[in-house]
Structure 1
Amino acid sequence: MEWKERMETLLKPLTSPSKEELRRVLQELNTTVKDVEAELGDPDGKPYYRKLLFHNKEVELLVMNWSDLECSPHNHGNSYGWIHVLNGKTEHTVYEVQDGKVPRAIFEEQRGAGEFLYAPVKGVHRMKDDQKSGLITLHLYAPPIKDMVVYDLKACAACVVSEDCGAWWPEETRQRVKELKLKA
């Protein structure tokens, strides 16, 4: 079975999938760089280029190829999901968030090709390509991401971003759905 056909077969039947079910499906996809290489693009000055591969009301699957820039600390709103490192190595930082305050980094880890990272609801994290390794990641979220919050730690600010913005401070005002001022 071809990868795109396998993707449709595994993702279409999902209904309110559990954390474990999402991981199982992402593993069963058995995705290689070759499966997604035609979907990769130029990050164009951003931390990554992202391409939506599958989307319905229950889940979304995206592939990202990374530049040498780190993304901003962010959460995925009310979505949760898994990130599968397909190529390269990521430096992954997890933050603690207290209401109204700037997130504080609590740990950093490196993950390489074949490894998985979990992104919980409202969990704040940051990723970057570790040592320009050619990082490519596959992301499966449920439900599809909406109301993602991106943090600017230096400015003590956060904003809910539009669905066409990634994990970076929006350059276009229209992408800032709601701005929040934080305490240091």
Structure 2
Amino acid sequence: MSSKSSNLEEFHATQAPTDRPSKRPRHLCSLGTGEVIHVLAYTARFDKINEFEFVVQGLARCLYTMESAVTDVRVCHPCCGEVVFIVTFVSKAALSRFCTGPQKTFEEQLEGLISTGDDGKKPSFQRSGTMMPAAHTLDSLLDFLKANVKGDDHTAHDVRTVSKEIERWFPRPSEYEQYISVDPSNPTKYTRNVVHTDENMDVILMCWPAGCKSSIHDHDASSCWVTVVEGEVHEVQYQLPRLDRKFLEAEQKDPANAIGTCGQLKIVNTACLDTGGVTGTYANNDIGIHRVENRSDKLSCSLHIYAPPLRKMKIFDEEGNVHVHLATKSNPVDLGDECGGNECDGVCVLRKGIFDVDAWNKNRVK
């Protein structure tokens, strides 16, 4: 049995059913625009094809000229005697108005001309639903990050673009549960579990038992993206304080053991990240330093992307102390000496996509 499997079994064995959120309020389509697609298909009676064609031609023209509450209209004409209308509305409320208004009116025009439902009064097919977004799986998100997150420091990153792509990830438990673990020796401490690591970034799933929090820390030259996966966490941002000369000199001479004092820590922002609201945040040293807290009574999980990998950081406390913490490449840095992190040797193995989109786009599919 792998250490990863045993970690997960130990976690489930030590957690009561109520220690994890009972339901995930976010739905896949909530990541999209909220538009609603309405599909209507009609088939003419065999002896009414010409009359049917005349009416649907007029209906198509009306639909194509709709502007209010509509974002797209498509009319498919498979053959004479068949038509499919595909109308995209801005909201469910707009669709409801259409169904009780224009649709009811034009179906009266089709009465007796179509062959199905209620003596030729209803469509042969009708279906409506929210537009599904181009949401990421964990695999496709990692593919995007590997292709787009590169460079020696945070100034090399297109932060806005990367943040938007991370927001498009719809985390499913089947993707991330293998990375959930707790420290068997102290289940109240949070853990850091490696999802992916390379020369450009570390991707870490962090598990936050009820009531735990990280140290207050900076991110050296790195970008730090955080997105909540399960439950909720609070990010508390602080203004980067002034450092005394003793620390600055020590950091130059002996970075691994540098200690000193800093000015008062000032909170500049506190944000609640949860799966039903704002899900992500971003930090670098130009923005400030931060800590992450689980203020709830249930386990929370969050995905952290450190780019480049975070091998050096400063740890601060409210008493005005600061010290440097270093880590090796094989042991991604913990968020403070006190964190008690449980490092995992798990590396995500990417699966192939459903089909080869690149080959299709390059006209290589026959």
**TM-score band, normalised by shorter chain:** 0.7 to 0.9
Tell me which of 299, 323, 343 is aligned to 1:159.
323
Tell me how far apart the structure 2 counterparts of residues 110 and 28 of structure 1 sit (CA, whole Å).
19
Tell me which of 124, 132, 146 is aligned to 1:12.
146
Q: Deviations over 1:122-169 (max 9, x none)?
A: 521111112223210011122111211111223x21112122442233
Tell me how far apart the structure 1 counterparts of residues 146 and 237 of structure 2 sit (CA, whole Å).
31
Match of 1:32 in 2: 172
Match of 1:176 in 2: none
Match of 2:312 in 1: 147
Find out whether 1:113 has 2:275 as its counterpart.
Answer: yes
More deviation, 27-36/126-135: 27-36
Q: Is the 8 A contact 1:161 1:170 kept in 2?
A: no
Tell me how far apart the structure 2 counterparts of residues 171 and 121 of structure 1 sit (CA, whole Å).
21
Residues 43-122 of structure 1 correspond to what in structure 2 (within 5 A)? 43=183, 44-45=185-186, 47-67=189-209, 68-100=211-243, 101-113=263-275, 115-121=279-285
Match of 1:103, SS state, is: coil
Runs of 4+ in 1 over 6 A off after TM superposition: none
Tell me which of 280, 283, 290 is aligned to 1:125.
290
- Rate the CA distance shift 1:25–1:131 in 2: closer, same or farther, 3 A: same
Tell me how far apart the structure 1 counterparts of residues 207 and 339 of structure 2 sit (CA, whole Å).
20
Larger radius of gyration: 2
Read off the aligned partner of 1:33 and give its amino acid letter: P
Read off the aligned partner of 1:86 and give its amino acid letter: V
Tell me how far apart the structure 2 counterparts of residues 149 and 85 of structure 1 sit (CA, whole Å).
24
Q: Is the 8 A contact 2:220 2:313 kept in 1?
A: yes
Read off the aligned partner of 1:129 and give its amino acid letter: N
* Structure number having the greater helix percentage: 2
Tell me how far apart the structure 1 counterparts of residues 222 and 191 of structure 2 sit (CA, whole Å).
20
- How far residue 170 of structure 1 moved from its aligned partner, in angstroms, is 4.7
How many positions carry a matched residue from both structures? Answer: 170
- Rate the CA distance shift 1:133–1:117 in 2: closer, same or farther, 3 A: farther
Unaligned runs of 5+ in 2: 1-135, 152-156, 244-262, 341-366
* Structure number having the greater strand percentage: 1
Tell me how far apart the structure 2 counterparts of residues 29 and 132 of structure 1 sit (CA, whole Å).
25
Q: Is the 8 A contact 2:235 2:271 kept in 1?
A: yes
Find out whether 1:22 has 2:162 as its counterpart.
Answer: yes
TM norm structure 1? 0.79
> RCO higher in 1 or 2 (8 Å CA, sep ≥ 6)?
1
Q: Is the 8 A contact 1:86 1:135 kept in 2?
A: yes
Read off the aligned partner of 2:204 and give its amino acid letter: L
- How far residue 52 of structure 1 moved from its aligned partner, in angstroms, is 1.5
- Rate the CA distance shift 1:171–1:128 in 2: closer, same or farther, 3 A: closer
**Aligned-pair Cα RMSD in Å:** 2.5
